[in-house]
Structure 1
Amino acid sequence: MMENLKAIIVFLLFWSIVIWCARIIKRKRDKQMMEFSEELPEMELVTDEEERKYICKNMVEMGKVENLFGGSVFLFNWWTIVRAIVEICREWSNGIAYELLEMSLLIAINGVIAENYRTIIEQKHICEKGVVKKKIVHIKSYRDFGYGSTEGVIEGKEGEIGIDLNRDEDLPFKRDGDMAMLVWLENGGNRLLPRMKPKDESNKKE
């Protein structure tokens, strides 16, 4: 009995620390994003509905396969967690440390998936109803950090800054003469997207 109580106390203490650290990291990340937003060049509001749809599709939405996979893992993990809880009740007298460890792992995975979906839903709402800004910019160079992570270097207010490329691919931008649409969302999110109409003179950088 005492071993089980110790395991529960450790479990609760561990997750209290994890949640506290996660909140601090999120606040710090949000602050850094807003501070970085101040370095971006002057931008104009996006009011055209077609542009909003284009930005939402390219910057926010996940593919059907990704949605299906993420949702399946999320539901399977919760089903396994429920089974673990039932097993804890059944095997109380034999110790529950292993079941709590398994639950912690599954909860952590589901927490990452849930946060990812929360961010997507928030950004999609901003794209549809919130404040979205854009600017056609010229990419001076590219930074490849490996693992599919690539930045485009553009001119900011006080010097050069690196912005993540859409889907981490530089080919669409190079085909358009290294021109891009810089997009900013009111939550501080930003990205470089291929221009909606790269051959349209009205979209070219002045």
Structure 2
Amino acid sequence: KIILGILTPQKGEVRILGERPKKVLGRVGYVPQNTSVNREFPISVMDVTLMGRLGCSNYGWGYSSKDKALAREALEKVGMWEFRDHYIGELSGGQQQKVAIARALVAKPDIFIMDEPTSSIDRQSQTELYDFFRELNKEVTIVVVSHDITAISSYIKSVACVNQRLYFHDSGEITPDVLNKVYHCPVDLIAHGLPHRVFRDHKEFEND
């Protein structure tokens, strides 16, 4: 929320792309954790995506041909162009999440922030989204907020863990040592389907 300019830090300052957060709002794309919509609200996938162009154009009311072309590009990128005329309420949770991503992409951000992007979708859709993020990361910086850090470990380049303070690791490899420092207790990583955390007896742990 500080990066997005919603909150201000109690001390110090935060710079995004060399500027204060509120000065670069148009350059930061954001997909919130809760993207649920009223299924009875009659708005199309195309119109939802075009909403991401609000404030980006100088044409006043309505959308320009450039806006519509960018919306098509974004929907094609997330695999939702064929659903452009469908009402957003007709879509599954995973499909709605893809449209939310397209809406953020259509503004052509330099940084893309996603808050728990897979929290409300099934495992197959999660894998598809992470594969998409890997490709998208070739074009734009991506910040993913997630509590399931082991599940995304094979997709990331660096890790910033927050537990009262910030622990930054310039590698995507999440080791027991990394988790020990963050959670202040011993952790083993067990691979069973997807990796998950197992907390060992605290008596075995010696804090550096």
**Normalized against structure 2, the TM-score is what?**
0.21
* Structure of higher CA gyration radius: 1
More helix by share: 1
More relative contact order, 1 or 2 (CA 8 Å, 6+ apart): 1
**Normalized against structure 1, the TM-score is what?**
0.21
